[in-house]
A and B are shown apart, each in its own frame.
Chain A
Amino acid sequence: MKKEMTCIVCPIGCQMTIEEKADGTYEVTGNTCKRGPKYAINEMTNPTRVIPTTVVIKNAMLPRLPVKTAEPIPKGQIFDAMAAINQVVVEAPVKTGDVVIKDLLGLGIDVVATRTMDKC
C-alpha cells in the first residue's frame, strides 16, 4: 500500500510518500529529517488522535462541559467514540480531570473533564 501525507512534526510540512514493502517494512520518501519517517510509519500502522468534545452538564453556568479522551484513541474509532460520549449527562460540580466515561469503548482510555464547573 502506498500513501501520500503531509508531515506535521514541524511547520515545514514535507509532502511524504510512504510505501509498504513486500517484507512488511516501510519506505518513506519526501521527508527532510529523520522525524518524518517515524511520523509516517505511525500514521500508517496505528494513527491515533485525542478527541476533544463536550457533554451535557446540568446545574452549571453553561449547558456544555468540555471533555477529552485522556489518551489518543485509534483514528478509526473516532465516530464510535463521539456516539458514546454524546450519551453522557453529568451534574455540576465537576473538576478538571474528573472522569466522565471510564474505559471508553473498552479501549482502556477514560474521557475526562477539561474544565472546572461549579454548581449554580
Chain B
Amino acid sequence: MPEMTFAQAIDFALGMAMERDERVITFGEDVTMLRRELFVRFGPKRVRQAPISEAAFLAAGVGAAMAGLRPVVEIMMVDFIAVAFDALLNQATKIRAFSGGKWNVPLVVRASCGGGYGDAGQHEQCLWGLLSGMPGIAVVVPSNPADAAGLMLSAVESEDPVVFLEHKLLSDYWLDYLGAGGRSTVCFDVPAAGARGEVPSPPLPVPIGKARKARDGGDISILSLGVSLHRCLEAADILEDNGIKADVVDLRSACPLDRELILSSAARAGRVLVVDEDYLGYGLSGEVAAVLAEAGIKADFARVGPWEVIPYARRLEDEVLPDVRRIREAALRLCGHDA
C-alpha cells in the first residue's frame, strides 16, 4: 500500500472518482491552484475556478447535481458556508423529500475545518453538529488518510448531499497555508498517524455512517472523530497507567451516527465520554446522549469540548479545544478516580 499524506489521499480518491465517472466535476475558489494536479489532468471544464461568491456557486452545485452532474463543491473553510447556507438548508437537503423521492441531489461539499493554529473562531470552527441538524444530509469527518480517501469515494458515489470535512491540522497544505506560512518559528500539535499513512490503491470506499473501533478496552467508551480522535488515543494510552482500559471509537461520520457501534461500546463500559472539537451545546455530543437514552442504556456520561467562541491567542485556544489533559481528567472522573 502506498503511503501518502492526508491531503494527497483525498485528491487521490477524487482523481480516481473523476477518472471513473465523467459526471464528477469540482469547483470553488482557487481550485485551479489548490487542485492544480487535477486541473492539469482534467482541465478547466471539470476543475473550475469560482469567484468569491459562495451563495451562488454552492447553489449552482445543487442545480448541477439535479441536472445530471456529480459536483464536488469546495467551500474553502466550513465557516464560510454561512454565507451560502440557503443552498444546503433550504435547497439541497429538501429536494428528495419535496419531490416525493423522485429527485435527488448527489452533491459533495468539501471544506476545511478545525483549529489549533491560532486563527480564531471565524476560521477554525468545525460546525459538523450544526450541519448534521438538517434532515437529508450526511457529514463525514475522516481522521486518517485511508479513511479520507475512502470517505471521499463514498461521498462522490452517494446519491444525496454529503459534507466532507478536512481538518486543517491533518491537511499539511492548509496548515502551511494558514498556520505556518513558511515560518519555522511556530509549531503545531499535528497527530502524525492522522497526517500521513498507508492508503489502499485503488482506495477502498468507507461506508458513510460506519464508525471504527480504534482501540479496544471495556472500562470506558470514548467517542470522538477528526483530530480529537488522536488526542483520545493518546489519553487512552496514559489511562492504562491508572489501570483503565478505554474503548476509543472513531465515529468517522457525524451524521448519520453508527448507533450500533456506539450502543455496543457504551453498553459494555457503562461509562461514555464524548470528545468533540465542535461546540458542545446542541450538537454531536448531545445527540450521542440522546441515542443512548433512547436505547435505554444507563451509562455515566461526560463530554470534553468547546462551549464558547474559539479565541485567537494560542494559549486561550488551547484551553478551549479538546486536549489530552482534559480528556484524561474527564475519563478519570467518570471512572471514579481523582483527576
Task: Determine if chain A interacts with chain B.
Answer: no
Residues of B within 8 A of A (CB): none
Residues of A within 8 A of B (CB): none
